[in-house]
Amino acid sequence: MPDYFIGIDLGGTNIKMGIFDENVKLLNSISSPTNAQEGPDVIINRMAEMSRQICAENDIEYASLKAIGVGAPGPSNIAEGIVVAAPNLPKFRNVPIKQMIKDRTRKVCVFENDANAACYGEYVVGAGRGADNMVFLTLGTGIGGGIITNGHIIHGFMDNAAELGHIIIEMDGRLCGCGQRGCVEAYASATSTVKRAVEALQAGRQSSLMEIYKQKGTVTAKDIYTESAKGDALALEITEGTAKALGILCVSLLHVTGPRRILFAGGMIAAGDALLGRIRHYYNKYLWPLKPEQMEICFATLGESAGMIGAAALACEFGNGSCL
Ligand SMILES: [Zn+2]
């Protein structure tokens, strides 16, 4: 009887669940609104019900489900499987999610932070495949990240490693949401990219973005890339600023972890080569000339499924122990 694994991405809006074979091949997926206000008991009960449902719907005997991997947001205690706090799951305070899932499903559960899970997904079946040393960055409201070194996710003391968005790239620079100044997130997340453009428009800079800003009261990262492709000077300047911040970040990451590959994910990668080419340009510009580096900078390929896939890959890799 073949073994099966479940990967769960617990988000503030949706619970995404996939059922996978032992090669981490996705067979089918389902999702359900999280309804975060219902709190951990109800939500984790729903996850357990969904586990049984996805097996039944795919004619998989529940007994051949070997392990469940779950990725959840926010600071956590990985070894103990505890969500310490999650900004978009306000009732999740010190929730022993791993034990709760195990109790409700009678399955082995493997727990990971959601950005690390997405990183692991890209490593196992996405654009990081074959790169035992890699860094994963996701550009969204903030900048999330994960680091793989010699095939292992780096957790650090107190599980607080890989807060890559809060690496400082400018002394006394822009104020970040975290309270520090000069974090890369304060320049190059999708939100900060938009914020820098809006600040320039409010300061009276001429730009084709002004029409959009007047109509919608804001602009999107997509608007900025569209207008920069048309040659608008301000949009180009903002795009260059984002790429420069990320290129400098890549230089620092090279010097810290020595990755084979750095992957960028998140909605902003829809900007395509306009963004990737510029990040590579600034990386090369600021990188030391001492020796040729073989590091690659690429886009991730799994999109929003990365966290779910990574959770399943972790279940596959570490879920065979008999902790029942
Ligand atoms: Zn910060």
In a domain, 115, yes or no: yes
- Ligand 1 centroid distance, CA of 84 (Å): 19
Q: Cβ(70)–Cβ(77) under 8 Å?
A: no
237 in the same domain as 136: yes
pTM for the whole structure: 0.95
CA of 143 to the centre of ligand 1 (A): 9
Residue 212 predicted with pLDDT over 90: yes
| Res 290: pLDDT | 86
- 196 alpha carbon – ligand 1 mean position (Å): 16
Same domain, 79 and 137: no
- Residue at 323 is within a domain: no
Q: In the structure, what pLDDT confidence band is assigned to residue 88 with cuts at 50, 70 and 90? A: confident
Residues 114 and 135 in one domain: no
- pLDDT reported for residue 293: 76
Grade residue 323 by pLDDT with cuts at 50, 70 and 90. Answer: very low
CA of 49 to the centre of ligand 1 (A): 38
Domain with 53 in it: 4-122+304-318
Domain match, 143 and 232 both: yes
The per-residue pLDDT for range 218-245, each reduced to its tens digit, is 999 999 999 999 999 999 999 999 999 9
Q: For residues 21 and 136, state if they share a domain.
A: no
- 271 Cα–ligand 1 center, Å: 24
User: Tell me: the pLDDT tens digits for 95-141?
Assistant: 999 999 999 999 999 999 999 999 999 999 999 999 999 999 999 99
Indicate the angle between helix axes 190-202 and 233-257, nearest 10 degrees: 140
State whether 295 and 187 are in the same domain.
Answer: yes
Residues 86, 235 within the same domain? no
Residue with tokens 């779910």: 308
pLDDT attached to residue 111: 97
pLDDT band of 322, cuts 50, 70, 90: very low
Q: Compute, in angstroms, the gap from residue 171 CA to the centroid of ligand 1.
A: 12
| Percentage of residues of the chain with pLDDT beyond 90 | 94
Check whether 81 has a pLDDT greater than 60: yes
Q: How far does the centroid of ligand 1 lie from the alpha carbon of residue 190, in Å? A: 14
217 C-beta neighbours (distance < 10 Å), count: 8
C-alpha distances (whole Å) from 168 to each of 75, 112, 210 are: 20, 25, 31
Q: What is the per-residue pLDDT for 320?
A: 72
Query: Distances from the Cα of 164 to the Cαs of 30, 91, 207, 234, in angstroms?
Result: 31, 26, 32, 27
Kindly state whether residues 85 and 213 are assigned to the same domain: no
- 157 and 196 housed in the same domain: yes
User: For residue range 14-55, what is the model confidence (pLDDT) as tens digits?
Assistant: 999 999 999 999 999 999 999 999 999 999 999 999 999 999
| 16 CA distance to ligand 1 middle (Å) | 28
Residues 183 and 253 in one domain: yes
Report how many domains make up the chain: 2
Domain assignment present for residue 37? The answer is: yes
Distance 285 CA to ligand 1 centre (A): 24
The whole-number pLDDT of residue 324 equals: 31
Distance 246 CA to ligand 1 centre (A): 14
What's the 303 CA to ligand 1 centre distance in angstroms? 24
For residue 193, the CA-to-ligand 1 centroid distance in Å is 15
Domain assignment present for 308: yes
Examine residue 324 and state whether it is found in any structural domain, yes or no.
no
The mean predicted confidence, pLDDT, of the chain is 95
Give the pLDDT confidence score for residue 207 in this predicted structure: 98
- Cβ pair 43, 34 in contact under 8 A: yes
Sign of CA dihedral 88, 134, 267, 217: positive
Look up the CATH number of the domain holding residue 233: 3.30.420.40
Same domain, 93 and 11: yes
Question: How remote is the CA of residue 299 from the centroid of ligand 1, in Å?
Answer: 23
